[in-house]
Amino acid sequence: MMRFYIMTLFPEMVMGGLNTSIIGRAKGKGLLSIEAVNIRDYAFNKHNSVDDYPYGGGAGMLMQAEPVYQAYEAVREKIRGIEECKRPEGRKAQNEGKRLRVVYLSPQGRTFNQKMAEEFSTEKELVLLCGHYEGIDERVLEEIVTDYVSVGDYVLTGGELPAMILVDAIARLVPGVLHNDVSAEFESFQDNLLEYPQYSRPEVWHEKSVPKVLLSGHHANVEKWRRRQSVLRTARLRPDLLQKAELTKEERELAESVTDTYKIDT
């Protein structure tokens, strides 16, 4: 089981989205554990506020360090308790001394991609920290965060939506989460190529027919067609991915012919 801990001011927002569909079913089967940790529960004043004005002035409010740190400590204690319950008496914890992986969702981070999803999916526990307002006091970030991750070059009101994106992308790679584990290996961005076009019944829809090769039952020809379509689609829509793709000489020439056609003078 992989465990996600989402540190947030809006737990109902993230859990509402993650309790449905494939992720929700995987939780129900015990393949995933997803817990939203309400940072506001660790406020240290009677008003339960977790923000204050930033030193030096400026617009907006800043999340304070102490509530975030106490929420993090609570997560660490919970993980430690789980490990102790699972460990045979007298045996030391396997990951004792290993730093907990904490991801801060921020536009300042590395842009999230499939390779990062694969890397994160190897963790037993993953903590996702959602900022809000104008951000979080730098001192607690320096103390607890191991990774800064962005979902794109734009600004959102908080880290909740990016956290949900990460959980969805990472969870799909956990064994057993998808009904067909093979499907995770052949989706978009596998081998730095986009996924090929797919079709279902009826055979003709709006006078458009399914490609004949897919009806042939010849698996080798189908796979060859799909590979070619992936190269063509990537060349048209995401030519930047081709730089890292492993292509044959013929596929490289095919991709170059498409990118030349779609090249726009600037």
58-92 confidence digits (pLDDT tens): 889 999 999 999 999 999 999 999 988 887 766 66
**Within-domain flag for 248:** yes
**Within-domain flag for 178:** no
Last residue of one domain, picked from the residues 171, 201, 224: 171
Do both 143 and 211 map to the same domain?
Answer: no
pLDDT in tens, 239-248: 999 999 999 9
Do both 19 and 142 map to the same domain?
Answer: yes
Please tell me the predicted confidence (pLDDT) of residue 90.
60
Please tell me the predicted confidence (pLDDT) of residue 44.
87
| Sign of the four-CA dihedral 211, 217, 221, 225 | positive
Range of the domain at 142: 2-171
Do both 52 and 143 map to the same domain?
Answer: yes
CATH number at residue 29: 3.40.1280.10
**Within-domain flag for 183:** no
Using the predicted structure, report yes or no on whether residue 264 has a pLDDT greater than 80. Answer: no
pTM, two decimals, is: 0.86
The token duo for 207 is 């006078």
CA 175 from chain center: how many Å? 16
pLDDT in tens, 162-183: 999 999 999 999 999 997 655 5
**Region of residue 13 (phi > 0: left; psi between -120 and 50: alpha; otherwise: beta):** alpha
Give dist(CA 164, CA 94) in Å, integer: 29
Give 204-266 as a DSSP string: EETTEEPPGGGGS--HHHHHHHHHHHHHHHHHHH-GGGGGT----HHHHHHHHHHHHHT----
| Mean pLDDT along residues 135-156 | 96
Please tell me the predicted confidence (pLDDT) of residue 265.
39
Q: Minimum mean pLDDT among 46-50, 72-76, 92-96, 219-223: which range?
A: 92-96
Provide the pairing of β-strand 51-52 with 62-63: antiparallel
Average pLDDT, the chain: 91
- Site of tokens 């904490």: 102
Do both 194 and 163 map to the same domain?
Answer: no
**Within-domain flag for 266:** no
Per the structure, the count of domains in the chain is 2
Please tell me the predicted confidence (pLDDT) of residue 179.
73
Do both 150 and 98 map to the same domain?
Answer: yes
**Within-domain flag for 244:** yes
